[in-house]
Chain A
Amino acid sequence: MKKIIWVIVSTVAVVFLVYHFSVQSQNNRLENALAVQYSNQLTSASEKLTKLTESVDQTMLFTDKEALEQPLDDVWRISSDIRTSISALPINNETSAIWMNYLNRLGNGAAQVKDGKVPIEEWQKNMAGARENLQELSNQWAFTNKDGGSKDYIVKAFVQNKLDQNGEKSWKSLGNSVKAYTESDFPMTASEADQQKKKDLQHIKDADITSAEAKEKFFKLFPEFKDAKIHITESSQDAPYPFYHIQFHEGIRIGYADLTKKGGHLLSFLMERPFEKTTITVQQMKDKSAEYIKTLGFTDTEMVEYRENSIAWHLSFARKAEDNDALIYADGIQLKIAKDNGELLGLNAMEYIQKEKIDKQKIVPIDKAELFSSNFSVEEERLAYVENKQLQQRLAYQLIAVNESIGTYKIYIDTENHEILHAEKLP
């Protein structure tokens, strides 16, 4: 009996030991694989930071456009590569976000100079100080990762995610440097500041409404929910714009609507419910959508597209400019309409209430034959406002160009300077 117990215990012990060593060796292999990946990203970022500083220096050498093209392109490309390396490292959120922002601004800046959107003199003036900061960051990165060659450091810091205990100070101080340099080297441009203000709905100057008024407004907009259970909360104090968040529940329907605190403008509405298998016709859906648009007060918009899916249609509307009927895509409205009975399931008016400022712009005719290769035909044309790289709304020719083998493209061409603002392949 004792012998049998001894055999069983020994067998279990051997099995356990084999299992333990096999798991440990597997973990070691995984740790090694991850350490190699992270080490590669760390050293790659370090090397590229050095190359980036060299490329930035080269952009300071010339004034000739052609000579500048390569170094500017290098700045854009290498900064993008370093972003990829940094985003693949398990650095804490704050440090990673600061680096990404810095490199994005540097790369975009170079691209804008290359595209002729920003004068080279301006870039060279800004970079005179920024290049020293970049050199400093490159050195700090190398210092922070001086132990980066050690597997132990990488395993502890990144693989086991114990950066807090290993080198937290140096990473944190590096993050602080990047943040300071971003603010000093790349201050927000006027267009970016305007864009941010628009996003934060700073142009809405209406008086604040109370929670009770918000509830009243909700019932006025959606009278079908007059008997619904309503729960209203106000946005947090730090929210860029104050709003009321109205959650409702009535029978099988559950959803929310957000209204701005200033003036009670509808930001968005969305609800969920079970669906029947029946389908109304496209014409019925269009009639319903026109009715909703009218009732909710978006009559200056036009439907630009719709997509049918299994339970609903998603429709897009764009505001029309008063003087030339051009579509202002940035002032869009989206609707979601149920296929089974045409009920309004959702409305998104966030873009619409940001209301873009539209300036007058010259319309210079274009020669389509010169623009497109002969195997492309332009099938549709109308005017539309779209954003350029400087975040300005520009009046553009909206062309639908078709090639049987390549596909259908929607292309926007600035009506004044004929710059191609945007081109997208249509499904």
Chain B
Amino acid sequence: MLRKKERCRLKQLKYILISLLFCTFSYSFISEQPTTQAFSAQTLERGAYGDDVIELQARLQYIGFYKSDIDGKFGYSTYWALRNFQEKYGLPIDGLLGQDTKKKLVGVSDYDKEFVHDQINKGNSFTYYGGIDLDKQVKNKKEESTNMQLPPQYSEKDLKLIANAVYGESRGEPYEGQVAVAAVILNRVEHPEFPNTVSEVIFQPLAFTAVADGQIWLEPNERAKEAVLDALNGWDPTENAIYYFNPETATSKWIWSRPQIKTIGQHIFCS
């Protein structure tokens, strides 16, 4: 009877040991690929933005496929680099960063997250090629980047300048009113009665109060930048206005003669 009990215990012990061994093996199999876990579970494609894209660009650059800036924006240069990588390693050539491509990329490249993010945060110009001393790949500080993805016809300089104007002109206005001020600037650039560039429109004498009183130089907040981003992407709450004024403070008689479209917050928008 006792022998039977002992045998039963031994059997139980055997099962426990086998389960433990299985768990240990599974864990070690997963932990053998620690860097795969650095990427999130998302499949990345053109248009994506963020830390996963930074890692993708850095890894592709490490093995020589990617030659542009590591900026976290999945544009065409990242797309072609990824496709070339997929072609070389016999993966389906789709320009998507799925699980198989991630696994392969992690296996053949290296990624020093701390170094890469440190350079980006410092605004340094840098590369991340494998086999070259990292310190030698860092150059002087480049121009500050907004880290925003814009429609191709606009530059980061446009965004910054319009955000400065929006913040200086309308920071006390509702969000819609801030998008509206940005839209007026963009409508002017397209209009034959105004200069053809964002900077010429903004700095046209007598055009904007914020330029005259120096408030254009205040640092815009994230809300103003987001409002400009919406305007650059096509939103125009003014319905094609090219002028606006505050009826409480406007001194020009002429501005009252312009055909009015709508009022948003403190501003009347006109064509």
- List residues of chain A with CB under 8 Å of any chain B CB: 83-84, 87-94, 96-98, 100-101, 104-105, 161, 199, 233, 235-241, 243, 245, 247, 254-256, 258, 267-268, 270, 272, 279, 281-283, 305-311, 313-314, 316, 332, 334, 336, 346, 348, 350-351, 379, 402, 404, 407-408, 410, 424-427
In the complex, A199 Cα to B242 Cα: how many Å?
14
Given contacts A270-B176, A334-B235, A424-B152, contact A92 B204 (CB under 8 A): no
CB of B195 closer than 8 Å to a CB of A: yes
Collect the chain B residues with CB atoms within 8 Å of residue A308's CB. 47-50, 74, 149
A245 touches B149 (CB 8 A): no
Instruction: Count chain A CB atoms within 10 A of each CB in B44, B77, B204 and give the residue with the most.
Output: B204
Collect the chain A residues with CB atoms within 8 Å of residue B226's CB. 311
Closest to A426 in B: B76
Chain B binding surface SS class: loop
Collect the chain A residues with CB atoms within 8 Å of residue B135's CB. none
Closest to B96 in A: A282
Question: Could you tell me which residues of chain B, from 47 to 85, have a CB within 8 Å of some CB in chain A?
Answer: 47-50, 67, 73-77, 80
1/0 contact trace for B38-50 toward A, CB 8 Å? Answer: 0000111111111
In the complex, A181 Cα to B68 Cα: how many Å?
51
From the candidates A92, A256, A281, A311, name the one contacting B176 in the complex (CB within 8 A). Answer: A256
A270 touches B237 (CB 8 A): yes
Collect the chain B residues with CB atoms within 8 Å of residue A379's CB. 80
In the complex, A411 Cα to B162 Cα: how many Å?
28
Collect the chain B residues with CB atoms within 8 Å of residue A410's CB. 152
A314 touches B255 (CB 8 A): no
CB of B200 closer than 8 Å to a CB of A: yes
A239 touches B260 (CB 8 A): yes
CB of B28 closer than 8 Å to a CB of A: no
B73 touches A427 (CB 8 A): yes
From the candidates B42, B233, B260, name the one contacting A238 in the complex (CB within 8 A). Answer: B260
CB of B229 closer than 8 Å to a CB of A: yes
In the complex, A302 Cα to B44 Cα: how many Å?
20
A239 touches B239 (CB 8 A): yes
Closest to B193 in A: A97
From the candidates B47, B192, B233, name the one contacting A334 in the complex (CB within 8 A). Answer: B233
Closest to B200 in A: A87
CB of B205 closer than 8 Å to a CB of A: yes
- What number of B residues sit within 8 Å (CB to CB) of A? 58
CB of B246 closer than 8 Å to a CB of A: no
Collect the chain B residues with CB atoms within 8 Å of residue A83's CB. 195-196
Collect the chain A residues with CB atoms within 8 Å of residue B179's CB. 270
1/0 contact trace for B217-248 toward A, CB 8 Å? Answer: 00000000010011001111101100100000
B152 touches A426 (CB 8 A): yes
A236 touches B260 (CB 8 A): yes
A258 touches B239 (CB 8 A): yes
The smallest beta-carbon distance between B242 and chain A, in angstroms, is 9
The smallest beta-carbon distance between A244 and chain B, in angstroms, is 10
CB of B141 closer than 8 Å to a CB of A: no
Closest to B233 in A: A314
CB of B25 closer than 8 Å to a CB of A: no
In the complex, A316 Cα to B75 Cα: how many Å?
16
Given contacts A161-B206, A238-B261, contact A282 B152 (CB under 8 A): no
From the candidates A91, A281, A306, A351, name the one contacting B42 in the complex (CB within 8 A). Answer: A281
Given contacts A281-B42, A307-B47, A427-B149, contact A93 B205 (CB under 8 A): no
Given contacts A270-B179, A334-B234, A427-B75, contact A240 B193 (CB under 8 A): no
Collect the chain A residues with CB atoms within 8 Å of residue B15's CB. none
What are 10 residue pairs bridging A and B, where the CB atoms are less than 8 Å apart in the complex?
Answer: A93-B206, A97-B193, A101-B193, A236-B260, A239-B260, A281-B42, A309-B149, A332-B234, A407-B77, A408-B76
Closest to B175 in A: A272
B193 touches A98 (CB 8 A): yes
Collect the chain B residues with CB atoms within 8 Å of residue A255's CB. 175-176
The smallest beta-carbon distance between B66 and chain A, in angstroms, is 11
From the candidates B44, B148, B206, name the one contacting A309 in the complex (CB within 8 A). Answer: B148
CB of B259 closer than 8 Å to a CB of A: yes
The smallest beta-carbon distance between A292 and chain B, in angstroms, is 16
Collect the chain B residues with CB atoms within 8 Å of residue A89's CB. 205
The smallest beta-carbon distance between A153 and chain B, in angstroms, is 17
Known: A314-B229, A350-B234, A408-B77. 16 other contacts (CB 8 A): A104-B192, A235-B261, A239-B261, A240-B239, A240-B259, A245-B262, A258-B239, A270-B237, A282-B43, A309-B49, A314-B233, A334-B233, A424-B153, A425-B152, A427-B76, A427-B149
Collect the chain B residues with CB atoms within 8 Å of residue A90's CB. 205-206
CB of B209 closer than 8 Å to a CB of A: no
The smallest beta-carbon distance between A297 and chain B, in angstroms, is 19
CB of B137 closer than 8 Å to a CB of A: no
CB of B89 closer than 8 Å to a CB of A: no
In the complex, A98 Cα to B195 Cα: how many Å?
12
Question: Could you tell me which residues of chain B, from 121 to 149, have a CB within 8 Å of some CB in chain A?
Answer: 147-149
B43 touches A93 (CB 8 A): no
Closest to B49 in A: A308
CB of B150 closer than 8 Å to a CB of A: yes
A100 touches B260 (CB 8 A): no
B254 touches A94 (CB 8 A): yes
A309 touches B262 (CB 8 A): no
In the complex, A92 Cα to B207 Cα: how many Å?
9
The smallest beta-carbon distance between A129 and chain B, in angstroms, is 21
In the complex, A68 Cα to B114 Cα: how many Å?
62
Closest to A314 in B: B233
Closest to B50 in A: A308
Collect the chain A residues with CB atoms within 8 Å of residue B50's CB. 308
- Top 5 closest pairs, chain A to chain B, by CB: A238-B259, A90-B205, A408-B76, A97-B193, A236-B260
